[in-house]
Amino acid sequence: MTAPLLEIEDLYAGVDGKEIIKGFNLTINAGEIHAIMGPNGAGKSTLSNVLCGKPGYYVTSGNVRFKGRDLLKLSPEERACEGLFLSMQYPVEIPGVPITSFLKHAVNAIRSYKGEPELDTMEFIKMVKAEGKKLGLDNEMIKRAVNVGFSGGEKKRLETLQMSVLKPSLAILDEADSGLDIDALRVVAEGVNALHNENNALLVITHYQRLLNHIVPDFVHVYADGKIVKTGDKTLALELEEKGYAGFVKEK
């Protein structure tokens, strides 16, 4: 059996001097889709930021291994180059930087990390356009500056486009459905599903069940008070929707 993609052991972490993650454990194998569900303010975004190494977030104890390497020792860009990707809840605007050029920098940074040659620009742009089209981002859109003047839905599509171009081993989707109407939700979910295969994994962080109708998880974890309080299959999500989080937090 191959080693797990991601192993989190007894993780304690926080931000601004406040411990938010308290004794978190999770193992993700290639080919799996995990969902983490929890109430607002439970620290779901803290988890994704800690995993991606966002400055300001700190780890007090515990281990995180990604593809067998100590993830916490890597810089944010090294984590990305190793195949970790975060689809952000609130993607930022970068004025004047066209999406194609942003993505080209990212792809070439990752390729150079792996010792691969840079991509041919023409081929690359063709590829980005084709991937964008699948996500309902037309050519005009792709020429625009990163996230500048984008609607909530467009931002999420762009996150998904980046994921499809960067082809990560583990993609964390942080509230990928926020701000999306039903049609946009379907487009984003289809895009994500198309990328999923037995060699990569998804970690879907959400507080609504509806996204999980489209991206069907193998495991659902209930996250409360800094750790996982219950794990089940996709039916757990439906149960949560019915009972609310309160019942689970008490159950502990």
Contact assessment for residue 234 and residue 212, using Cβ atoms and an 8 Å cutoff: yes
Of residues 161-180, those binding other proteins (CB under 8 A): 162, 166
DSSP letter (8 states) at residue 29: -
Among residues 110 and 224, whose Cβ is nearest to other proteins? 110
Of residues 61-100, those binding other proteins (CB under 8 A): 75-77, 79-81, 85-86, 88, 91-97
C-alpha 109/C-alpha 112 separation (Å) is: 5
Of residues 23, 30, 74, 102, which one binds other proteins by CB under 8 A? 102
Among residues 37 and 103, whose Cβ is nearest to other proteins? 103
C-alpha 189/C-alpha 176 separation (Å) is: 9
Instruction: Write down the least CB distance from residue 55 to other proteins, Å.
Output: 6
Count the site residues for other proteins by CB under 8 A: 33
Contact assessment for residue 244 and residue 40, using Cβ atoms and an 8 Å cutoff: no
Does 105 participate in binding other proteins (rule CB under 8 A)? yes
Going from the C-alpha of 163 to that of each of 13, 151, 173, 193, 215, the distances in angstroms are 26, 19, 10, 11, 15
Instruction: Write down the least CB distance from residue 82 to other proteins, Å.
Output: 9
Does 149 participate in binding other proteins (rule CB under 8 A)? no
Does 110 participate in binding other proteins (rule CB under 8 A)? yes
Please report, to the nearest 10 degrees, the dihedral formed by the alpha carbons of residues 179, 227, 203, 184 taken in order.
-10
C-alpha 39/C-alpha 34 separation (Å) is: 17
- Nearest residue to 5 via CA among 221, 168, 170, 203: 170
Instruction: Write down the least CB distance from residue 83 to other proteins, Å.
Output: 10
Instruction: Write down the least CB distance from residue 90 to other proteins, Å.
Output: 8
Contact assessment for residue 48 and residue 84, using Cβ atoms and an 8 Å cutoff: no
Q: Which residues here bind other proteins, judged by CB under 8 A? A: 52-56, 75-77, 79-81, 85-86, 88, 91-97, 101-103, 105-107, 109-110, 113, 145, 162, 166
